[in-house]
Amino acid sequence: MKLQKESSIFRGLEKNVKQLSALFSHSTDLSIRQFQLQDGTKVALVYFVSLVDKVSLKEQVLHTLMFKTNTAAELFESNISVPIENVQVIKRWKEIEQALLEGQSLLFFQGWKEAILFETKGWPERSIQEPHTEAALFGSHQGFIETAEVNIALLRRYIPHNELRIDRCEAGDRAKTKIYLSYLEDVVNPVIVKKIKKKIKGIQIDALLNTGELAEFLEEHPYSLLPQSLLTERPDTAASHIYEGRLVIIVDHSPSVLVVPVTFFTFFHHVDDYGSRWTSGTLIRLLRLFALLIASSLPALYIAMISFHFEIIPLDLMMSVARSREKIPFPPFFEALIMEISIEMIREAGIRLPSPVGQTVGVVGGIIIGEAALLATLW
Amino acid sequence: MVIIVAITAISSYIIPNYELANSVRIIRFPLMLMASIFGMVGIAIGVLIVLVHLISVRSVGMDYGDPLIPINFRDWKDTLIRAPIQFMRKRPSVNHPLQSRRQGQGKKSGVTNMQNQATEQITFFQFILLIYKTQIGINVLTLPRDLFAEANTDGWIVVILGCLVSILLSGIIIQIMKFHPKQILYDAMPKYLGKWLGKAFTFLWTLYALLTATLVLFTTIHIVKVWILPNTPFYLLMIIFLIPIYMVTKQGINMLARYAELAFLIAFFMPYLLFFALKNVEWLNLLPVLKDGWEPIVKSIGLVLPSFYGIELIFIWYPFLNQKQKAFRGAIIGNLLTMNILLIITLISFVNFSPMESEKMIWPTLGILKLIQFPFMERLEVFFLSFYLYVLFATVIPYLFTAVLGIKRLVGKMDTRGAGWILWLVLFGWVIVSILYFPTYSDLFQLHKFWSEVALYLIIGFFVGYTLYLVLFHWWKRVSHR
């Protein structure tokens, strides 16, 4: 039976129950608990076992309904006196589907064309830890986690101000992912917010699993090598960007948030720069810039000097370089390429492997292979 | 090599952002390839391509290179350095925040006009740098010799006089542009001169701009070939040079201005490197002042003027300037900056070389560099020249842009974008020429001589004549109205 998602639920309980299990393709984790109120009205509590907080379901919802509620009418008249944060009356199948998938539980009644939603979300969650990739010496040691609500809470702790605005958007054709835009409304330029909202509306994708995917949709130059938005897992970094008039985009079930718009130099900043004295902060920033130059062009400079301009460097240095190179069978470019590629491979292997094995890779890759290659004068 | 790779690997971990570190890793490989084919020039061009891309990217409509380019000194205090927090009173202006003061809840400063960003406009500062960077080109490398030949060691006085003449000329050009502040010269000429005469002058200017761009580009490649890469084919150098030139020119006037800023930031220290050559110098070379009297000095003003050419392109830039009342001030500052560089170069080369040497040097400025040696680097000029390419391109690009706009007018297109088949045509033409023909030094020398004569007549003759014509035209209009 094909279902019109806009249509509302039926009066008969049995029909609704049948409809529900058909809607979710008879999933085994969809639980339909049927019982009777005090006056004998048949009801059914529907929820996904995997997505609800069982304690609050048992103690607040089931206990109240079974022992303290006499009739369905009483429940509706008393503004649903069940001791739980959020209750709603809903009718449409579309809303019901959405609510169940979010981890709410729904109560259906025999003879009523309305159902009641109880807020019983509760799923496995990671505790708040320091992010691995962005450790700080002086900054806070909290990091974002995979639940958007918690992340918003972390942000609000840094920005307790009435102008902090959180807007909700959605993206994903098949599974809707919640996206929250947070910004200081009296600071951020509205043009930026408008542009971002428009872009999020235009996203066409099955489901957004990752903030990085969202970044690709928002960027104006998706083919560019340069990242045009900043991913961070640190709430203090995100908050500082909000204070500077930027926009922080939180994607549900992703621990990193997106900061837009950014400049190239945003990537050289770190909370520790602000936490330490300004002199050392400055020094470190200049050092990073220098590191950028080295990291991008030092092998190239070496190749250029060896193959073209050996007269640039002083004679003594040149002699020692020449002596070290005399037995190497490759031209400088291939020598550098082989080394760079092998070092990148060792690095990539180190990231994915569990830490005990990772050490082995370090030892084997770095010491044994390196030593052997040196002995064989491959580089 | 092991040390090099190790240092590189460590450096890439110092960059605090993982994504950027990855980008840097990816950029490393093409740079290595460029270095293995073109040496230092390859690195300079590779880095330039990345930089040009960097300054053209926008993140949600905001400039990615800010505050370095477009130059925004106020925001530098939280960019390359981390100033004490009490100095950072304002939010970064790149995001155009509604409230720019950080502390407390202040007044709203109103929505800054972000629409202006997209339109084609250049700021006062960019205007100065455009003039300055277009003027500094190949002439800088040869000027001391030419001046010495005519005016002996009093050449530096000629530079000052030349600057005055150049300021005067730019004043005239700005006066002309004030008659039609919103239109570039190409669009305004038909209105005053009639369709055919206007087209003829457009054609003339286009030809001149194309000639200048070609001359500078070919001389650049010639110098690179002679000084750094004697074995690399001419056309290969042409092709890699054209990549960044294309990337800038196709994006129009905004990008031109940004490129001038980029060239300024990268090259501003370069003339001061020459001070290292002040070791065993003969200051007495400069004495006596005015040894041949004023006559040779006045005569050789014509020699120094080509170093100030670039001012004529104000006829393209002026309509895009956002503070037009300051245009003349900008032209003066630009000319003075150029004069500063020329003075440094002429003086240092006069005190460094004996009169005999000065006459024989083909590229005296590079000759000075050859004298400088550091404990870690000999032959500084290889390094210098590779990165001096950025400055030379800053001369080629505005002339190329002017030529492209001119051709567009001739075929009946009225837009001010650089991109399109015309740009491709010009670039393609250059590549073909460079494959078929390799200019020798004497060819370039002849061409240069021809060019400076043409330029002298065209710039002085046209602008003075055109000003007189415009004044008469407006006077006649007023009279006939009555």
How far is the alpha carbon of B369 from chain A, nearest alpha carbon, in Å? Answer: 13
DSSP conformational letter for B101:
B
* CB within 8 Å: B81 and A195: no
Closest CB from B40, B66, B112 relative to A263: B66
| pLDDT (mean) for B72-88 | 81
For B192-241, write each residue's pLDDT tens digit: 888 888 899 999 999 999 999 999 999 999 999 988 888 889 999 999 99
pLDDT in tens, A303-357: 998 888 888 888 888 888 888 888 888 888 888 888 888 888 888 887 777 777 7
What is the spatial distance between Cα B396 and Cα B402, in angstroms, rounded to a whole number? Answer: 10
The DSSP code sequence of A204-257 is --S----HHHHHHHH-S-TT-SS--SEEE--HHHHHHHHHTT-EEEEETT-S-E
At B431 the pLDDT is 94
Q: Does B202 or B99 have the greater pLDDT score?
A: B202
Which positions in chain B touch A347 (Cβ < 8 Å)?
Answer: 9
Query: Are B92 and B67 spatial neighbours (Cβ–Cβ below 8 Å)?
Result: yes
Tokens of B288: 């006596």
Length of chain A: 379
Q: What is the mean pLDDT of residues A268-290?
A: 88
Q: Which residue of A has its CA nearest to B87?
A: A278
What confidence score (pLDDT) does residue A64 get? 84
| CB-CB neighbors (< 8 A) of A309 in chain B | 39-40, 228, 379, 382
pLDDT in tens, B428-455: 999 999 999 888 888 888 998 899 888 8
- A379 with A339: CB under 8 angstroms? yes
Q: How far is residue B174's CA from residue B463's CA, in Å, rounded to a whole number?
A: 10
> Cβ separation of A340 and B28 shorter than 8 Å?
yes
Q: Which residues of B touch A378 (CB under 8 A)?
A: none
Global pTM value: 0.89
Of B4, B9, B64, the CB nearest to A263: B64
d(CA B403, CA B205) in angstroms, rounded, equals 8
Supply A64's token pair: 């109240």
Mean pLDDT, range B72-99, rounded to an integer? 81
pLDDT band with cut points at 50, 70 and 90 for residue A256:
very high
Contact B20 A336 (CB under 8 A): no
Tell me the percentage of chain B whose pLDDT exceeds 90: 33
The answer to whether residue B11 neighbours chain A at the CB level (below 8 Å) is yes
Contact A339 B5 (CB under 8 A): yes
Rounded to whole angstroms, how far apart are CA atoms A102 and A120?
9
Q: Which residues contact B426 (CB under 8 A, 6 or more apart)?
A: B210, B400, B403, B404, B407
Residue range B110-154, pLDDT digits in tens:
555 454 445 678 889 999 999 999 998 888 888 888 888 887 778
> In chain B, what residues touch A217 (CB-CB under 8 Å)?
none
Q: Does B236 touch chain A (CB under 8 A)?
A: no
Q: Report the complex ipTM.
A: 0.86
Confidence (pLDDT) at A348: 82
* Sign of the CA dihedral with A368 first, then A369, A374, and B1 last: negative
Per-residue pLDDT at B189 = 86
Among B64, B113, B224, the residue to mutate for chain A (most A Cβ within 10 A): B64
Q: What is the mean pLDDT of chain A?
A: 85
Contact A19, A87 (CB under 8 A): no
Interface list for B 87-106 with A (CB within 8 A): 91-92, 94-99, 102, 105
Mean pLDDT of B51-69: 87
Check residue B114 and give its pLDDT.
Answer: 52
Between A195 and B151, the more confident residue is A195
What mean pLDDT is predicted for residues A102-114?
A: 86
- Does residue A72 carry a pLDDT above 80? no
d(CA A65, CA B402): 81
pLDDT level of residue A197 (50, 70, 90 thresholds):
very high
Q: Where are the alpha helices (DSSP H) in chain A?
A: 13-23, 54-56, 63-67, 72-77, 93-102, 148-158, 190-201, 211-218, 235-243, 271-275, 278-307, 315-325, 332-352, 355-362, 370-375
A82 versus B55: the higher-pLDDT residue is B55
